[in-house]
Chains A and B, each alone.
Chain A
């Protein structure tokens, strides 16, 4: 079955360490996204990528970095520069604009706790 796989489900890190969250999709979608969700709040866009080797900053990109070397993969690195990294991180994907009738497909998320 096609879908988006995020790993790990839970991640614990010490303050000052960089950490990389994995996101893999086998939906053959062109665009991929990273969102952050804080308790009781909506989703905020961190980065998104329309095609391989290209990505754009979202609304809260500071302290994060991404890469898109393969169509299937869009890993997110939370760097030590991110002041409040503890959150629920959601990866999503979508097909090209010609298929706007298709919504975002989401992974199951990674809950990151930094102490």
Chain B
């Protein structure tokens, strides 16, 4: 059974600081996704990672994938308040349409 774990679960950081969110998954997968959720809202797609070594960047966020380690990271550079949200990774089960989500990381950026 595919399991997805994120850490930390909660993250409070100062503006301007860097930090990394980790996403570990338990079985082989060929695709990984990152989403953002604002309070009370739906999920917004951030990144799609489909191969080992894939790296995607958008603004202050950069995501990477290591399929051998079954690990993806979401790196935040010089955080700003607008990045405050909950971030989820999701892993696709090989050969199926099934997507399993991580527990989420609730990020709060303090001014």
Using CB atoms and an 8 Å cutoff, list the residues of chain A in contact with chain B: 31, 33, 35, 40-45, 48, 50, 56, 58-59, 90, 92, 94, 97, 100-109
Q: Which of B11-19, B43-51, B57-65, B68-76 lies at the binding interface?
A: B43-51
Asked whether, in the complex, the Cβ of B42 is within 8 Å of the Cβ of A42, the reply is no
Task: For the complex, give the distance between the alpha carbons of A105 and B100 in Å.
Answer: 14
Query: Does B90 sit within 8 A of A, measured CB to CB?
Result: yes
Listed A/B pairs (28) with beta-carbon separation below 8 Å: A35-B101, A41-B103, A42-B103, A42-B104, A43-B43, A43-B90, A43-B101, A45-B100, A45-B101, A48-B97, A50-B97, A56-B98, A90-B42, A92-B43, A97-B95, A97-B97, A100-B50, A101-B48, A103-B33, A104-B33, A104-B35, A104-B43, A104-B90, A105-B45, A106-B43, A106-B44, A108-B41, A108-B42
Among A56, A100, A103, point to the contact of B45 (Cβ < 8 A): A103
Asked whether, in the complex, the Cβ of A100 is within 8 Å of the Cβ of B88, the reply is no
Asked whether, in the complex, the Cβ of B101 is within 8 Å of the Cβ of A31, the reply is no
Task: For the complex, give the distance between the alpha carbons of A108 and B102 in Å.
Answer: 20
Asked whether, in the complex, the Cβ of A90 is within 8 Å of the Cβ of B43, the reply is yes
Asked whether, in the complex, the Cβ of B50 is within 8 Å of the Cβ of A101, the reply is yes
Asked whether, in the complex, the Cβ of B97 is within 8 Å of the Cβ of A94, the reply is yes
Task: For the complex, give the distance between the alpha carbons of A73 and B96 in Å.
Answer: 20
Task: For the complex, give the distance between the alpha carbons of A89 and B104 in Å.
Answer: 16
Task: For the complex, give the distance between the alpha carbons of A55 and B27 in Å.
Answer: 23
Residues of B within 8 A of A94 (CB): 97, 99
Asked whether, in the complex, the Cβ of A102 is within 8 Å of the Cβ of B48, the reply is yes
Residues of A within 8 A of B41 (CB): 108-109
Asked whether, in the complex, the Cβ of B43 is within 8 Å of the Cβ of A45, the reply is no
